[in-house]
Chains A and B, each alone.
Chain A
Amino acid sequence: MPGDASRARPLIEARGVSVSFGRQNVLDKVDIAVHAGEIVTLVGLNGAGKSTLIRVLFGIVRPDLGTVVRTPGLRIGYSPQHVHRDPILPMTVRRFLTLGAPASHDRLKKVLAEVGAGTILNHPLAEVSGGELHRVLLARALLREPGLLVLDEPLAGVDVTSQAELYQLIATIRDRYGCGVLLVSHDLHMVMAATDTVVCLNRHVCCSGHPKVITRHPEFVSLFGPHVANAIAIYPHRHDHRHDERGEPVPIDDGDPKSPDMSGGQG
């Protein structure tokens, strides 16, 4: 499926998008595209502009330069990183799921079962666990029958075994519905194994490419088990530049250009 996807027109595409807030340049000539059936993982550190980029894709932030092209009639299912779930707001999972659009009881049960959270329909949203919350958010996104799923940090606060489960769930959903998936993550090196393209953002696109499957590494397999090892992949960054103190990209002129230093240069 990924092979076909690259030839078809993307579901959504940003071309040369630049955004600045005041003097702060947040995005600089960023290109990103997601095709039907494709999983794109957007990685970057905090402040790299990931949230701004997805808000540009949603049409909430208007870019200063560049364009966003969407397939006409594209429905986006969005799973945000945070939702307001203060106990002062009495909100059950059921009520939360129907905030976007009304849905029948059967449909709600079905979609919750699909994401592996079938028993919490009547629970207060404020009391579900972190892992359950990600599943509930995914369920709300799926209720829209989306052509594109945008999942912002869908694994935040989840242990590595549950991460692998959620990755497998996302891959299953992609396979079943053929939707495009844009996954946002702050983890620069560990990505979902089913990812077709990784885009590394640090205000501009630093690099992009395919992740490397690490299933074979015996230590990793023995540490986390084959399920985890199958779901998670390593992304080796290949940067031709590093960033100076102000975050401006500068060419790499010393050391080995093939192994840029992610931790120091934040490239």
Chain B
Amino acid sequence: MTEDFVLRALAGGIGAALAAGPVGCFVIWRRMAYFGTALAHAVLLGIALGFLLELEPFVGVFAMCFILAGCLILLERQRLVSLDALLGVLAHAVFAAGLVVIAFMERLRVDLVGYLFGDILSVGVVDLWLIYTTAAISIAALLWQWRNLLSVTVNRDLAAVEGVPVERVRFLLLIMLAGVIAVGMKIVGMLLVVALVIIPAAAARRVSSTPEQMAVASAVIGIIAVISGLFSSLEWDIPAGPAIVLVASVAFAASLLIPSRGQQGRDD
């Protein structure tokens, strides 16, 4: 079981989980799950974009997620439609556009199932580079802006009064989320990528009493889910992406049995 493609799959999955864990914590703290879903729906359009520009499909996905993240930030300022509705409109509009554009491009042969459900066993060397570059950048950015990110999460205005550049910090988080969605898509597919982002983070809550512990625990749970999911998939010949998400979901359910932490006693 140590063939190259298995090792690459393992490395790719671990890298994606590493990046997704801490960002996923902010997604559930700030209730941004729907942002993630909207970004994931841009994947097909991104692949078409990559094809048009003769780039790696993966690069097209990155670019499309970043473009959509930018649009969301700009559109969030309008007050005509609620953010919730706006995300719903945008997500399905870009998804539909992706399907239509791909149907038009006759020369483009797309493995639709692979993009919808992920294809971890086809992770190549270029993919590994992209995954680990994204993970390294997003972890570095998290460490650099950690306190500002937390401060903005707790109260925007208070953070602003204390000198935090609130808009830049929120933009950074959305960009990181776009990057994580783009790499996670390769592992578990666009339909399940949000699960890879939020389920390990949700499972980490009960074993953490500080935000930092939760970020680390979330990455660890994600990595465990990737390893066990991948090997169950090879062992029992089941699809890898859903297996990974199922393991993470079991971890979440198990975490609910643990009594809530966070209280360290009355005083020290």
Contact = CB atoms under 8 A, between A and B. Distances in A.
Interface of A: 21-22, 55, 58-60, 76, 78, 80, 82-92, 95-96, 99-101, 119, 121-124, 126-127, 140, 144, 150
A47 to B, nearest CB: 15
Given A91-B211, A126-B262, 20 more contacts: A55-B157, A58-B160, A58-B161, A59-B160, A60-B160, A83-B154, A87-B260, A88-B205, A90-B205, A90-B210, A90-B214, A91-B154, A91-B210, A92-B264, A100-B158, A121-B268, A122-B267, A127-B262, A144-B162, A150-B161
A127 B151 CA distance: 19
B161 A86 contact: no
Give me the 7 closest cross-chain CB pairs, A-B, nearest first. A78-B161, A124-B262, A100-B162, A99-B151, A122-B264, A89-B29, A90-B262
A62 to B, nearest CB: 13
A112 B267 CA distance: 12
A214 B209 CA distance: 47
B160 A90 contact: no
B153 interface: yes
Nearest to A89: B29
Interface in B218-268: 260-268
A248 B158 CA distance: 32
Interface string B162-173: 100000000000
Interface in B186-226: 202, 205, 208-211, 213-214
A80 B202 CA distance: 27
Contacts of B82: none
Interface of B: 28-29, 79, 147, 150-151, 153-155, 157-158, 160-162, 202, 205, 208-211, 213-214, 260-268
Contacts of A85: 154
Contact of A100 (B151, B157, B261): B151
Given A99-B150, A99-B151, A76 B267 contact: no
A87 B214 CA distance: 13
B154 A90 contact: no
Given A21-B79, A84-B155, A90-B205, A99 B147 contact: yes
Contacts of A84: 29, 153-155
27 contacts: A21-B79, A22-B79, A80-B157, A84-B154, A84-B155, A88-B28, A88-B202, A88-B205, A89-B29, A89-B154, A90-B205, A90-B213, A90-B214, A91-B211, A92-B209, A95-B211, A96-B154, A99-B150, A99-B154, A119-B266, A122-B264, A122-B265, A123-B263, A126-B262, A127-B262, A140-B158, A150-B161
Contacts of A126: 262
Contacts of A91: 150, 154, 210-211
A186 B199 CA distance: 41
B231 to A, nearest CB: 30
A35 B259 CA distance: 50
B219 to A, nearest CB: 16
A90 B157 contact: no
A181 B210 CA distance: 33
Contacts of B267: 119, 121-122
A80 B155 contact: yes
Contacts of A144: 162
Contacts of A95: 210-211
B35 to A, nearest CB: 16
